[in-house]
Amino acid sequence: MRKFWSKFKREDGQVMIIFAFAMVVLIGFAALVIDVGTVQVAKRRMQTAAEAAALAGAQDLPKTAEAISAANTVAKLNGGSLIRTTVKAPYQGNSNQIEVICTINVQYSFARILGFTDTDVSGRAVAQKNPQWAGEALPFLNLDDDYLANPKIVAWEKTAPGDFESLWPDDYNVYFGGKFDDHSKTYFTVDFADGITVTKGTVATVKQEIGYIYGQKKPVYIFSLSSAVIKSGKYNNIKNKDVVPLEDLVLLQVTFDSFDEQDKNLFLTTTKVFDINKGEYPTDYLTSPGGTSATIVE
């Protein structure tokens, strides 16, 4: 009888050892599944926050202070208030790139039993500003000045009875043109995808905004009939709300020579011609931050 109980106790002790070992293994698996899963979720969250922040900051480049501020704000919005954010702009000497690293501390649950308490998880992204032209142009259409014969052209002038090279109001928008806006940023965009619609009259309501742009002293864009179309006289008798199709248009990059505010004439010099029918467009914008995009490059 004593032998029987002695054997049972020995086996019971072995079972307890095996059970204890099994519990350690189970806890290890739980730590692997739960805590590692938590880390992976946090890593994806940090990567998303870093990419969103980098893209937001890139929009303000090369203005470093504004870019860093925007990146930090968006990082907190996407990653939460507990994240630590490191922003570098310019990145590696490139004024059009910004690096964002978002880090958060993850506290372990089951892994604490195995001696692990926490870990830092990070996401990193480098975004690049890709300037692109987005329709920024003066709200006029050059109807009569052959820019190939003479780069000096006059816009907003009377070309025929009632014709002042003006666009239909629905074809353009003005930005930063309000009384309390920063007029160093004033610009127009022209909706040209379906051609340009002209209107009779001088459209004097844009005079002040044109003055703001003239004061910026930098190149701008303006649509024009192509040289061949100007010579053909096709639009000598243009009517109100006539649409000039893209096939008859080019885009001119011009500089302001002067602005006659009284007679509402713009004296311009053509510096470059874009054949938009062949897909030629400016590769950068010159008038506003409205025509930019950004992409993740790392």
Answer yes or no: is pLDDT of 100 > 80: yes
Mean pLDDT for the chain?
Answer: 86
Give the total number of structural domains in the chain.
2
Confidence of residue 289 (pLDDT cuts 50, 70, 90): very low
Same domain, 51 and 159: no
Q: Does the residue 298 lie in any domain?
A: no
In this prediction, residue 262 carries a pLDDT of 84
In this prediction, residue 18 carries a pLDDT of 59
Tokens (6 digits) for 271: 């510096």
Q: Does the residue 122 lie in any domain?
A: yes
Higher pLDDT, 127 or 117: 127
Note the pLDDT tens digit of each residue in 172-199: 999 989 888 899 889 999 999 899 999 9
Note the pLDDT tens digit of each residue in 195-213: 999 999 888 889 999 999 9
Answer yes or no: is pLDDT of 8 > 50: no
Same domain, 93 and 184: no
Answer yes or no: is pLDDT of 225 > 60: yes
Same domain, 102 and 155: no
In this prediction, residue 21 carries a pLDDT of 59
Answer yes or no: is pLDDT of 89 > 60: yes
In this prediction, residue 168 carries a pLDDT of 94
In this prediction, residue 227 carries a pLDDT of 97
Higher pLDDT, 96 or 114: 96
Segments forming the whole domain that contains residue 255: 141-282
Q: Does the residue 136 lie in any domain?
A: no
Answer yes or no: is pLDDT of 3 > 70: no
Same domain, 151 and 116: no
In this prediction, residue 2 carries a pLDDT of 53
Same domain, 146 and 260: yes
Answer yes or no: is pLDDT of 107 > 80: yes
Report the pLDDT averaged over residues 129-150. 90
Q: Does the residue 16 lie in any domain?
A: yes
Same domain, 49 and 146: no
Count Cβ neighbours within 10 Å for each residue of 148-180 and write b for 16 or more, e otherwise: eeebebbbbbebeeebbbbbbeebbebbbbeee
Same domain, 217 and 242: yes
Q: Does the residue 295 lie in any domain?
A: no
Note the pLDDT tens digit of each residue in 51-82: 999 999 998 888 899 999 999 999 999 888 88
- The runs of H, that is alpha helices, within 31-142 are 36-58, 64-79
Q: Does the residue 135 lie in any domain?
A: no
In this prediction, residue 130 carries a pLDDT of 75
CA distance 289 to 260: 27
Higher pLDDT, 31 or 130: 130
Same domain, 185 and 123: no
Same domain, 14 and 54: yes
Q: Does the residue 257 lie in any domain?
A: yes
* 3-class secondary structure, 274: strand
Same domain, 118 and 235: no
Confidence of residue 135 (pLDDT cuts 50, 70, 90): confident
Count Cβ neighbours within 10 Å for each residue of 4-20 and write b for 16 or more, e otherwise: eeeeeeeeeeeeeeeee
Q: What is the pTM of this model?
A: 0.58
Same domain, 216 and 177: yes
In this prediction, residue 91 carries a pLDDT of 95
CA distance 297 to 91: 12
Same domain, 158 and 272: yes
In this prediction, residue 261 carries a pLDDT of 84
In this prediction, residue 114 carries a pLDDT of 67
**Is 195 exposed, middle or buried, given 0-12, 13-18 or 19+ CB atoms closer than 10 A?**
middle
In this prediction, residue 185 carries a pLDDT of 86
Q: Does the residue 297 lie in any domain?
A: no
